[in-house]
Structure 1
Amino acid sequence: MYILQDSLFTLQELLEMESNDRFSIFFKELDLRPYAAMLKSKSPQGAQGHSREAILRALLIAPLEGYFTFTALHRRLDSDISFRYRCGFSLEDKAPSISTLSRTFRQLTDQGLLDQLFNDLVQRCWDEGIIDGTTIAIDSTAIDAYEKKRPKSRCQQKDEASWGAKRDSFGNLLTWFGYKAHLAVDTASELPVAIEVTPAHITDGEIGPSLVEKAAQSVSFTYVTGDAGYDQKRNYEVVKAHGAQAIIPLNLRNEKEPPSGFSSIGTPRCSMGYDMTYWGTDGSHLKFRCPHATGHVECPHGTTWCSPSNYGMVKKVDVDQDVRRFSQPHRGTRHWNETYKQRSSVERVNSRMKDHLTSDDLHVRKLKKVTTYIILNAIVLLASSLAAKRTIAQNAA
């Protein structure tokens, strides 16, 4: 069982708690004073001189409470004095206006403060052992735009929504107008460690390198796994540069035939044309043995065709000669397959952010604001996991 499976259930329990208990647990792990202090003085004050920290708390609790719009959040703050108090407003304070909430959100976006909070929480989860970091999974998910749909010919701006297409797990082609949220997720804890948001037409393979670089700023990892959409040499190279191994299926659609003497997955073939038997590693080399000697085929020439030894011919392949083709562990082995299966964790995180939080219902426009909105949802996951760990530890004490 992965490290934080219990905490994921605790997140569900957090959603089912009474608001007062939920707020206390959630905010206990968030010291927002340093971030609130960095907000420009004009952004949160408004006519009533509202607390910067209180507005920030309200914006962060909104995804957990299921509020998609500033209007809905304002109405709750205005009608529920207990909710307003729990967010940090004094009993005498009126609810911040819709324009105040919107203005604060915009300046959080302009100053990148939620990016900083997200990175700080990832670092805390890493330092406290919540994020394991052994394997990172990367993938993207479709985000429908709040903007009005436009024809492809008019989708020219880099910071605006565009048309995208992607196949689901059943092979069906899905199209949408909007954005892509690209996530790098720690597969053990199922927590995001890096996020990028792009217009929908940007391919996964293009964003892979920058997503890996972002993840490497916060955590150390041994493997990075992604689907065949990331099968580009630069993705393997950036993972290799961080001392890790990319676990990505080869996309063989445009490949006419494998290199001479090798199978499509990089297994060398003996002089009779049989795939040799993988026999472990030797430093940066993959070791392969004669398939007849290992009992995998019945060669009419036995081992004598290639080697005078009963051990059979041995071939070693340097993985560095083709970082895309060759992998440690070798492609097709149990270790490789089990590591690749962990890729599904990023799909579960995307589903959690859409089904339990609010990342699937945008009410902001333009790329920068959409990015901030997605990061808000990711912050909820990280803060909830920290709260879950603390609660479990206190209950066990």
Structure 2
Amino acid sequence: MSSVHQESLFTLEDLLNLSPQDTYGFFFNTLDIRPFLKVVSKKFVLGAPTQLNYTAMLRSLFIRVIERIPTIKDLRKRLKQSVEFNLNCGFTGSDRIPSEATYSRLIQKLQGSAVFEQTQEALVRLAFQEGFLDASTVAMDATHVESRDRQPEKKKVDVEELPTEIPKKKRGRKSKAEREKWLQEQLEIEANRPLFEKKVEEQLPCTFTQLRGQIPLAPEWGVKKNSAGKNVFWYGFKAHLLVDCKSQYILTALLSSGSINDGKMAIPLLKMLAEHHPELEVKQVLADAGYDLAPIYKQVEGMGAQALIDYNRRKESLVEGKDKYFRPVCKEGNSYRYDSCDAKYNTLKYTQPKECTSCPFNDGTCQKVFKIKRDSDPRKYTVPARGSDGYYDLYKKRTAVERVHAYLKEYFQLNNMRHRGTKAQVDFYFSCLTYTASKLTVDRWNQTLERSAKKVS
């Protein structure tokens, strides 16, 4: 008699719902905190001995994210009240509970280091080597993160400081000399602007290190359209993620001010992926209409991949002889069908619509095949072509990045960033790194279950 074994899947929710001792054990078997210890520990043997248990403090900060403990104050309260929790974090009976100021100094040390970024890279590399991700199709998007900083008050205008007479503008055209002077002033103003206030194409020649150093991190007012098409305002930051669509691993993650446009953070995310993970062969990059900018297509093509970005018309009218997906149309208005892409000549091939075979007005003059160069406009002509089934099937995978945003906010404290100013970046990295380590833990556990099931059968 044969027995049927149903595959047992272990999820992130299952890991978080396990008993604390099991959860922490599995988690810290995956996450190596020794690099963090090198950053925060005492650098020299000389001087007063360190009385703090840095290992337990670091473990407690990661456990705070897993247990969804809102503040450091609540974390200390839990450590004092629960002996079991205290021991699970790694504190011994002789250790005193660190103060909030001590935790703040520890976080300050972590803030100025690259340990989060390096550990995230190491975990992604491990996941790739163990076969849990291939990153052939990736998606990027941003989500809003509110800040705990006080919202700036509106500036009060002093009436006495206002000029009594407003100078009148000179009417009519500027003279040639005045226009040249004005153009020169505009060029100087544009040249002196910060990089992320310039056009996106200015980022292309820069390295990721150069871009990283100029990303604005101060909390600012941001605006984003919700699912109902209404503007939603918040004061704080934006979390930008590049995610593997199949496995939902975070490949690269960056934090910026809330006022930064989503499209201006695409090139840093892509350059970070190319520089830190050259072993990953990306084939498709998916994004919504906020990323529909020509320099982003150029950056993706430079990585040897194809960009599938929802088209943003920006008040453009329809092209004559083309439908809304830029496919040629016949005399009766039927759209030609996307057939294939010729990689050698970089052209899209469209074939005659099915309706033309039975059309009574078809006198044989309708063109049977159209070939369009992708270089004519990479935004309009993608691979697969817009409007085709292949395009829709691939573009549906973009929702993976939205699911990761939801996981981070619901389970990993992304919507509960307690630190102010640029120190909030540490909270962001704690959330992303805890998610990645938990994801790798779950995948390893599922692999173990599958091997056990095969042995039993």
Shorter-chain-normalised TM-score: which range?
A: 0.7 to 0.9
State which structure, 1 or 2, has the greater radius of gyration over its C-alpha atoms: 2
Which residue identity is paired with 1:51?
A: N
1:235 to 289, 296, 310: 296
2:348 to 282, 286, 290: 286
After superposition, the Cα gap between the structure-2 partners of 1:297 and 1:346, relative to the gap in structure 1 and judged at 3 Å, is farther
Deviation, 1:152, is 7.2
Residue aligning to 1:331 = 386
Give the distance between the partners of 1:165 and 1:206, measured in 2 at CA. 15
Give the distance between the partners of 2:43 and 2:75, measured in 1 at CA. 21
The equivalences for 1:273-312 within 5 A come to 275-283=335-343, 284-291=346-353, 295=356, 298=359, 300-303=361-364, 305-306=365-366
After superposition, the Cα gap between the structure-2 partners of 1:273 and 1:16, relative to the gap in structure 1 and judged at 3 Å, is closer
Whether the 8 Å contact between 1:161 and 1:366 is mirrored in structure 2 is yes
SS class of match (1:111) = coil
Whether the 8 Å contact between 2:41 and 2:54 is mirrored in structure 1 is no
SS class of match (1:193) = strand
Which residue identity is paired with 2:264?
A: E
Residue aligning to 2:121 = 119
Whether the 8 Å contact between 1:35 and 1:117 is mirrored in structure 2 is no
Deviation, 1:273, is 6.3
Give the distance between the partners of 2:52 and 2:317, measured in 1 at CA. 65
Residue 407 of structure 2 corresponds to residue 352 of structure 1: yes
The range that moved more, 315-324 or 269-278, is: 269-278
1:270-308 deviation line (CA, Å, top 9, x unaligned)? 57765322222222221112336x7477272433x25xx
Residue aligning to 1:146 = 148
After superposition, the Cα gap between the structure-2 partners of 1:46 and 1:162, relative to the gap in structure 1 and judged at 3 Å, is farther
Which residue identity is paired with 2:386?
A: R
Residue aligning to 1:185 = 243
Which residue identity is paired with 2:339?
A: W
1:171-213 deviation line (CA, Å, top 9, x unaligned)? 2321111111111111111221111111111111111111122
Residue aligning to 1:309 = none
**In the comparison of the two structures, how many residue pairs are matched?**
381
The equivalences for 1:363-378 within 5 A come to 363-367=418-422, 369-378=423-432
Identity of aligned residues (%): 29
TM-score between the two structures when normalised by the length of structure 1: 0.87
The range that moved more, 167-176 or 19-28, is: 167-176
Whether the 8 Å contact between 1:289 and 1:314 is mirrored in structure 2 is yes
Which residue identity is paired with 2:26?
A: I
After superposition, the Cα gap between the structure-2 partners of 1:100 and 1:35, relative to the gap in structure 1 and judged at 3 Å, is same
Which residue identity is paired with 1:173?
A: N
After superposition, the Cα gap between the structure-2 partners of 1:153 and 1:268, relative to the gap in structure 1 and judged at 3 Å, is farther
The range that moved more, 49-58 or 186-195, is: 49-58
5+ residue gaps, structure 2, are 1-6, 157-196, 198-214, 453-457
The equivalences for 1:139-288 within 5 A come to 139-151=141-153, 158-216=216-274, 217-218=276-277, 219-258=280-319, 261-269=321-329, 275-283=335-343, 284-288=346-350
Give the distance between the partners of 2:286 and 2:154, measured in 1 at CA. 32
Whether the 8 Å contact between 1:163 and 1:201 is mirrored in structure 2 is yes
SS class of match (2:420) = coil
Give the distance between the partners of 1:151 and 1:200, measured in 2 at CA. 17
After superposition, the Cα gap between the structure-2 partners of 1:273 and 1:18, relative to the gap in structure 1 and judged at 3 Å, is closer
Give the distance between the partners of 2:42 and 2:8, measured in 1 at CA. 41
Whether the 8 Å contact between 2:15 and 2:23 is mirrored in structure 1 is yes
Give the distance between the partners of 1:323 and 1:362, measured in 2 at CA. 39
The range that moved more, 266-275 or 12-21, is: 266-275
After superposition, the Cα gap between the structure-2 partners of 1:29 and 1:274, relative to the gap in structure 1 and judged at 3 Å, is same
Which residue identity is paired with 1:114?
A: F
Deviation, 1:153, is 6.8
Deviation, 1:326, is 0.8
Deviation, 1:38, is 3.2
Whether the 8 Å contact between 1:364 and 1:370 is mirrored in structure 2 is yes
Whether the 8 Å contact between 2:412 and 2:435 is mirrored in structure 1 is no
TM-score between the two structures when normalised by the length of structure 2: 0.76
Whether the 8 Å contact between 1:197 and 1:370 is mirrored in structure 2 is no
Deviation, 1:322, is 1.9
Give the distance between the partners of 2:401 and 2:290, measured in 1 at CA. 14
Deviation, 1:235, is 1.4
Give the distance between the partners of 1:385 and 1:12, measured in 2 at CA. 10
1:332-383 deviation line (CA, Å, top 9, x unaligned)? 111111111111111111111111221101210113x222211211111111
SS class of match (1:121) = helix
Structure 1 vs Structure 2 CA RMSD: 2.8
